[in-house]
Structure 1
Amino acid sequence: MSFRHSPGKVIAVMPAYNAARTLERTLADIPPGAVDEVILVDDGSKDDTVEIARRLGLTVIVHEKNKGYGGNQKTCYREALSRGADYIVMIHPDYQYDSRVIGATIEFLMLGICDVMMGSRIRTRREALAGGMPAWKYIANRMLTITENIALGQNLGDFHSGFRAYRKEVLETIPYEKNTDDFAFDTQFLAQAVYFNFKLGDIPVPVRYFDEASSINFRRCIKYGLTTLWVMGQYWLQKLGLAKFEIFGPRDAAGSASTSQA
């Protein structure tokens, strides 16, 4: 299936770290015409990710030092906006998320139905577990997602998906440069999107868990879960006027991180 995405420029961004074994498969599944450009931001990979991305004709940005998952996304979005993106989709190059749904996801943004689209890995429990999601991770996801839906007044199926798409207005409004450079960047971003009154939605996306697919370990998941709860607390403290946090403040002209372009 091919997609016509006029008007508007669609850019896919890939936060990459050691994705040499899966990058080409991820790209091959993107429907023809679904995106105008693919930007890969390499976060200090130790394998051939950069060389393969160059060979495949991607726009490649290289971090000389590892900046972390959130730090990588900051560069992704900064570069996409600088290249005139109207719609930005983030897809991990580790082949965990099914990139065939990119075109369908962007359509919801183009129609103005949503400003932010999430790929939900958990349409049913059976599908999630059959895709290889560990049972403990499924339970933790369900508990956190329910909590976040209640705290933020949403009804998303999966608050912790690594497949996301945005209208450019979202990235131009949210002060994401003030977010953490770690994995909690994603949670902060969604809380910010709700705080700034953007419309969130989701679409089912098949997911694969295998050795080459990136995934944080149990210890880091615990830290991530606790940080997620703290972000929900920050959101309500800000909403009630009991405290102020930079991540919910106005966007400013934050300095760009040092990058080099291939």
Structure 2
Amino acid sequence: MSSTLLTEPPLNPVHAPFSVDRILHPTGPEPRRKHKIIAVLPAYNAASTLAATIADFPPDSVDEILLVDDCSKDDTVRIARDMGLTVIQHEKNTGYGGNQKTCYRYCLERGADIVVMIHPDYQYDARVIPHAVGVIELGICDVVLGNRVRSRSETLKCGMPWWKYLSNRGLTAFENLSLGQNLGEFHSGFRVYRRQVLETIPFEGNSDDFVFDTQFLVQAVHFGFRLGDVPVPVRYFDEASQINFRRSTKYGLQTLTTVGAYWLNRLGVRKFPLFKSK
């Protein structure tokens, strides 16, 4: 086996901050892309994992990295600014969905052609960014998700709690069947969007909570966008952010409700603002 092939992804959640210029403006003959790509990181208390997350970004994979801070109580903002990231700091906590709304408004205003959303908790391997973006650029998909569940044994070995694995599998199977899709998982914190997706979906009316992600994907299906995924390793460790069992249960129920609303809207029984074009 070639020495360049890794048997498992490196794990270094505690990484010294560095200048992001080495990613945004690398030296060398690398060809420039034809599309403007902005990576967004919805952040809350990500000081211990932010640098490690950014360090995995391949050089010249994105044009700008935006961190939106939702009133963190640690040094997330200071570290992000020291590294040279673009930073937007909320004056009050808006929730996970509210954070993403700020991210996407900024990207549309800045003329992004492709938007990469990745959690700054180092759960997702940023090295796959060019590959996920490539699926968009080739016109194969409009939305690409990072699939953490390549196999059951691998996922559990990497630390995903068994109850979270079971709920992920159950909800994903239900969503695939109900929405006519074939995704490895619907609940990933690594996503890539074509600009037209953000221009079409009325995400401003979505929840400010975690169910924002589910609503967004169900809306993408409603508006006819093509969804796909790429495998990405899962990393669970103490510093990584996780929602607890109670919030996960609430999220699961909200997911079922969102899919139900999709079908009520599709059958004409009741119209929902979620599925009204901008």
TM-score bracket for the superposition, by shorter chain length: over 0.9
CA shift, 1:53, in A, is 0.4
Contact 1:128 1:207 in 2 (8 A): yes
CA shift, 1:147, in A, is 0.1
* Residue identity in the other structure for 1:52: I
Q: 1:133 aligns with which of 144, 151, 160?
A: 160
* Residue identity in the other structure for 2:260: G
When normalised by structure 2's length, the TM-score is: 0.89
CA shift, 1:201, in A, is 0.1
CA shift, 1:137, in A, is 0.5
The answer for the alignment partner of 2:189 in structure 1 is 162
1:136-190, CA deviations, whole angstroms, 9 ceiling, x for partnerless residues?
1100100000000001000000100110000000000000000000000000000
1:29-59, CA deviations, whole angstroms, 9 ceiling, x for partnerless residues?
0001110000000000000000000010000
Q: 2:71 aligns with which of 44, 65, 71?
A: 44
The answer for the alignment partner of 1:153 in structure 2 is 180
The answer for the alignment partner of 1:26 in structure 2 is 53
* Residue identity in the other structure for 1:134: P
The answer for the alignment partner of 1:93 in structure 2 is 120
Equivalent residue of 1:13, what SS? strand
CA shift, 1:212, in A, is 1.2
Equivalent residue of 1:164, what SS? strand
- Cα 1:5/1:106, change in 2 over 3 Å: farther
How is 1:1-262 mapped onto 2 (pairs within 5 angstroms)? 4=31, 6-251=33-278
CA shift, 1:72, in A, is 0.3
What residue ranges of structure 1 are gaps of 5+ in the alignment?
252-262
When normalised by structure 1's length, the TM-score is: 0.94
Distance, in Å, in 2 between the alignment partners of 1:59 and 1:4 is 24
Contact 1:101 1:205 in 2 (8 A): yes
CA shift, 1:80, in A, is 1.1
Distance, in Å, in 2 between the alignment partners of 1:52 and 1:101 is 24
Root-mean-square deviation (CA, aligned residues, Å) is 1.2
CA shift, 1:130, in A, is 1.1
Contact 1:5 1:34 in 2 (8 A): no
Distance, in Å, in 2 between the alignment partners of 1:218 and 1:55 is 35
Contact 1:14 1:91 in 2 (8 A): yes
Distance, in Å, in 1 between the alignment partners of 2:81 and 2:51 is 11
1:228-254, CA deviations, whole angstroms, 9 ceiling, x for partnerless residues?
000010000000011010110121xxx
Distance, in Å, in 2 between the alignment partners of 1:5 and 1:114 is 22
> If you compute each CA radius of gyration, which structure gives the higher value, 1 or 2?
2
Equivalent residue of 2:277, what SS? coil
* Residue identity in the other structure for 2:88: I
Equivalent residue of 1:166, what SS? strand
Bigger relative contact order (CA 8 A; separation at least 6): 1
What count of residue pairs does the alignment treat as equivalent? 251
Distance, in Å, in 1 between the alignment partners of 2:240 and 2:104 is 22
What residue ranges of structure 2 are gaps of 5+ in the alignment?
5-25
Distance, in Å, in 2 between the alignment partners of 1:39 and 1:245 is 31
Distance, in Å, in 2 between the alignment partners of 1:54 and 1:82 is 21
